[in-house]
Amino acid sequence: ADAGDAWEDVRALIARSMTGDPAVTLREQFALTGDPLPGRRIVRTATHTAGAVAWRRLPAADRARLRAHARAITVQASPMVPRNAAVLLDLLGAGTLEILRGAGEITAAGGRFRVGHAGGVRAADAVVNAVNPPAHAVPGAAAPLVSSLLGQGAARHPDGGLTVDPGTGRLVVGGRPDPRVLVAGDLAGDGPFLTTSIPGLAALAARAAAALVSPR
């Protein structure tokens, strides 16, 4: 609180990010880029470095409770990169870009798009899907590989992704960890819903490399 990082401010920002205009939330976060706010920075770092370990130790009920607030947690744990935020804010300020909630049917007409959304209908020259995929979703490019692994005895995790051995990251095939296949990153279904950070992914990759060269 002495550094201006009061809990009441954090709670108010979270509430606005859940119910308010996303452009306003983005402006508020961008305006705080240069502020120390040590509490928030510590929490963000811990979320991405220790979050995966803590997540695996949580009871199922606690995981479900956190998933119910996934959007608010993601907004606070992974704010937009300042350079990208500045570009988007310039586009929003110029009226070139508009953020629509609850987009539904999108149709092409006369070289433009008609977008039905929660507030009515908008016409646009271009439409960008900014909705995050579900946690542990399988990328299209990886679908053939995942299908092949499933056909050889691998299993989908109940939370999405593939079932892996949490201690080693080895893919579980036929009910047992397979030492030949290791999973690093969000394809592992036992991790949290936040996208794996670059340092976290590097640590998982290092663990996988060590496992591959160690005696089985």
Residue 72 included in any domain: yes
DSSP string, 112-152: EEEEEETTEEEEES-----PPPPTTPPPGGGHHHHHHHHHT
Residue 2 included in any domain: no
Asked whether residue 75 falls in the same domain as residue 15, the answer is: yes
Helices (H), 20-109: 22-31, 38-49, 51-56, 60-67, 70-77, 82-94
Counting Cα atoms < 13 Å in the Cβ hemisphere of 127 gives 20
Asked whether residue 32 falls in the same domain as residue 105, the answer is: no
Query: Which structural domain, as residue segments, surrounds residue 48?
Result: 7-91
Mean pLDDT by 10 residues, the chain (216 residues): 65 73 84 76 79 85 88 82 93 91 86 89 90 82 93 91 88 93 87 82 85 74
Eight-class DSSP state of 177: E
Asked whether residue 108 falls in the same domain as residue 66, the answer is: no
Per the listing, tokens 């030492």 go with: 179
Dist. CA 162–CA 155, nearest whole Å? 6
Task: Count the domains in the chain.
Answer: 3
Asked whether residue 13 falls in the same domain as residue 82, the answer is: yes
pLDDT of residue 147: 95
Say which residues have a Cβ less than 8 Å from residue 47's Cβ, sequence separation at least 6. 73, 77, 194
Which of these three, 112, 132, 152, is where a domain ends? 132
pLDDT of residue 1: 46
